[in-house]
A and B are shown apart, each in its own frame.
Chain A
């Protein structure tokens, strides 16, 4: 038998076990499986940008960002190297490593495994996704590899429980071992482990089409387009239910609480404020669903492939595509995903441009204004509202490329850029991983709605309701009046300015704030949704200007804080905030006056 059976167990007292492996070997799925998905991960969905931490029995399991070698390539891989080198401040040096490899790619990944084993940390090797490899005709001899390495080797199947039991037990029992000091060359090791191999696989038929220079780009455009259409099409029903629920709740409160300030606070303040934001949960989940599917299926890397040359001409690194696409969900994971980039200058430009990508918090703002001002008709077979939304996203991409080009030219020139990126094989997204990702996103969104937006709604209700009878006499009106002159030239009304100020904390708060502003003002007729109210109250030119403002304005405290952390520089952070506000003001102004010329 292999030497692992005789290896003395490592002390079983709160061991730290780290999963290390190259990118795209199914490490995160294995981690979710081992820890039952109860991981502590910041609040960030998508790619592994920080380590996730979970529990397996007594062991503390850590999932580290993927690395291809022990040479640092980007801030992300430095995190992993610091942890396994015992140089991390956040984590102790792991007691045990689980080296996760793609069973179907051992020849390519064995040098990496050797390099890691040579560190002398007790290890277990997992040949992951072995079921897929075996289906393709591979046959493995884990015993032979285990003997040759001197550490336990398991064939694992990340998603299925049966394929994880053995390795889970080995981790819990501390069966890891330090490898032999005189390891055979990688080539020999691979030959020992792989006893049968399929004939060279021909390229996937899917990539023939999906990576086709013309068809591939057309399909990418169509995919993104469909995503934005779906955001409107599929969300309508759940949104109606939430709206009806909020109205029913308001009715109950009106019946139960006597007319007066308390009823007004509950109905006009809290239900109108929080409700007008929560209603966008279905749209945000639909958007995230598609982004997670694109990411998990391996299509995201194809999107990066197809757009790389355009990105390069805009002065961005090809690897910037993934951080920037993630920024469509939220700029925060996007900025953090930029850690995988090697060149510091490339990374800086990517971070500075990330807030321009249309994050999901803008969706509530766009959606309410589109619902109010764009007729729900069809343009050909497509919904006009979906088209406008697509246009706003397109505006973000174009402005992002233009800004990147300008930054590269004038602000942050230089640096060699490489692409060299694996295009992972296509995989069906695991329903559990998908559900987990969406669940995490919902929690973040609802927590924000329950805390920040709740607080803003209450405070704003007070500031709007007192003193006096009109908005202009109230505290909020007087405060808004102070900065109103600044925004008058670009067509913003007092109500818009009042909504903008709390909206500085987070974009979607502005919708909640508008909900409260108009609910208090029109207390008698507040059955109509916010969109209907805005339609009556705002001119088309002002609405378009507001939309244009939102394409650019960096209205998110968290993003600014993360930009500060990721760039480690206040100078660049203020530069980012400054240029974005300047663009927002210009864009809103130009939009307003152009619309006025055309009589809107």
Chain B
């Protein structure tokens, strides 16, 4: 099994640790502004009905909505 995968493919309510960002710089900066950082633990809480987008992602005590393309920019590993 692959060790790293994009957050968009994470299982529901399975904690995962952020290992890296991919995608363009502007998007990375915007994600970091919201508190996403390598080493942080995140967890997908819910997915939208249509095409699995957007995703509700828990980060610490916050829940942040990300579109699938945005969640794709976060590479994670299972905790």
A309/B33 contact (C-beta < 8 A), A203-B43, A211-B56, A421-B64 known: no
Complex interface bits, A403-429 against B, C-beta within 8 A gives 1, otherwise 0: 000000000000000111111010000
Please state if A422 and B63 are interface contacts (CB–CB under 8 Å).
yes
Please state if B33 and A312 are interface contacts (CB–CB under 8 Å).
no
Please state if B60 and A107 are interface contacts (CB–CB under 8 Å).
yes
Interface residues contributed by chain B, number (CB under 8 Å): 31
A1-9, A271-279, A298-306, A471-479 - the one binding chain B:
A298-306
Please state if A71 and B61 are interface contacts (CB–CB under 8 Å).
no
A305/B65 contact (C-beta < 8 A), A207-B46, A418-B70, A420-B70 known: yes
* Bound-state Cα–Cα, A120 to B13, Å: 42
Residues in B with CB closer than 8 Å to A104 are 61
* Bound-state Cα–Cα, A69 to B65, Å: 18
Complex interface bits, A75-115 against B, C-beta within 8 A gives 1, otherwise 0: 00000000000000000000000000000110111001000
* Bound-state Cα–Cα, A68 to B62, Å: 14
Please state if B41 and A71 are interface contacts (CB–CB under 8 Å).
no
The B interface, classified by DSSP as helix, strand, loop or mixed, is: mixed
A interface, how many residues as a size bin? 35 or more
Complex interface bits, A175-219 against B, C-beta within 8 A gives 1, otherwise 0: 000000000000000000000000011010001100111101100
Please state if B63 and A423 are interface contacts (CB–CB under 8 Å).
yes
Residues in A with CB closer than 8 Å to B33 are 68-69, 71, 112
* Bound-state Cα–Cα, A313 to B54, Å: 12
- Taking CB as reference atom, which chain B residue is nearest A70? B33
Residues in B with CB closer than 8 Å to A150 are none
Q: Which of A109, A301, A419, A420 has the most CB of B within 10 A?
A: A420
Q: Is A483's CB within 8 Å of the partner chain B?
A: no
Q: Is B67's CB within 8 Å of the partner chain A?
A: yes
Complex interface bits, B26-70 against A, C-beta within 8 A gives 1, otherwise 0: 010111011100000101011111110110101111111111001
- Taking CB as reference atom, which chain B residue is nearest A308? B54
30 cross-chain CB contacts under 8 A: A68-B33, A69-B33, A105-B35, A107-B35, A200-B60, A201-B61, A207-B46, A207-B63, A208-B46, A211-B56, A301-B65, A304-B65, A305-B48, A305-B54, A305-B56, A305-B65, A306-B48, A308-B54, A309-B48, A309-B50, A318-B54, A318-B67, A418-B30, A419-B54, A420-B30, A420-B66, A421-B65, A422-B63, A422-B64, A423-B62
Chain B residues in contact with chain A, CB under 8 A?
13, 27, 29-31, 33-35, 41, 43, 45-51, 53-54, 56, 58-67, 70
Known: A107-B60, A203-B58. 12 other contacts (CB 8 A): A107-B35, A108-B34, A203-B63, A211-B45, A213-B47, A305-B56, A309-B48, A418-B30, A419-B54, A420-B67, A423-B62, A423-B64
Chain A residues in contact with chain B, CB under 8 A?
68-69, 71, 73, 104-105, 107-109, 112, 200-201, 203, 207-208, 211-214, 216-217, 301, 304-306, 308-310, 312-313, 318, 418-423, 425
Going nearest first, the 4 A-B pairs with the smallest beta carbon separation are A108-B35, A213-B49, A211-B46, A309-B50
